[in-house]
Amino acid sequence: MKNNGKLKIGEIVFYPQVGLGKIDDLMLEDVDGTKKEAYVISFLDNNSKAFVPVDSANIMNVRKLMGKTAVNELFDFLEKGQIKVEKDWKKRHKLHNELFITGAPEDLALILKNLFWLDKKKGLTKNERKFMDKVNYLLSMEIATVLNKDVESIKIEIKQKIEKNFGKIKN
């Protein structure tokens, strides 16, 4: 899910691995002696900012938020369908990191589905649980913003959808 065009000042965007941010400004920044336009993004979770060159936003996977139709499709994916979880932890870790970097909602949902299933089958390591919690938070935060709901209620809804697919998931 790419951003499909120039982002606008005031727009809420998704920045992979970080979360939601608001485009506060568009400024000229000196990059290697060349003036380039850059988005000034303030993250909603903390007081940090990022400067993202306009011509690099797609490469960095900074994107507009998904729409309500995409949320419904995501919920449907979480609730139905099969998955194939990589048994080798090194390959699984590499795959999940590659998916995480894209920041695409469907990739984050796949990671969540895999890790919830793995947790049900054999439990997660401390690092896998931390990673699952981060992915769950980022995805829930975006969905909550799109649907104008609170993050915690979306986390519960995501878990319920996955439980419908896999049965009871332990806490």
pLDDT digits (tens, 9 = 90+) for 94-122: 999 999 999 999 999 999 999 998 998 88
Quickly list DSSP for 28-93. Answer: EEEETTEEEEEEEEEESSSS-EEEEEGGGTTTTT-EEPP-HHHHHHHHHHHHSS-----SSHHHHH
CATH superfamily for 68-166 is CarD-like, C-terminal domain (1.20.58.1290)
What is the spatial distance between Cα 106 and Cα 75, in angstroms, rounded to a whole number?
10
Query: Do residues 146 and 65 make contact, with C-beta atoms less than 8 angstroms apart?
Result: yes
pLDDT tens by residue, 41-58: 999 888 899 999 998 898
Alpha carbon distances (Å) from 89 to 62, 86, 97, 109, 116: 28, 7, 12, 19, 15
- Positive/negative CA dihedral, 17, 132, 85, 1: negative
pLDDT tens by residue, 119-144: 988 899 999 999 999 999 999 999 99
Domain spans of the chain, in order of start: 12-64, 68-166
Give the other-Cβ count within 10 Å of 160's Cβ: 13
Instruction: Give the CATH class of 12-64.
Output: mainly beta
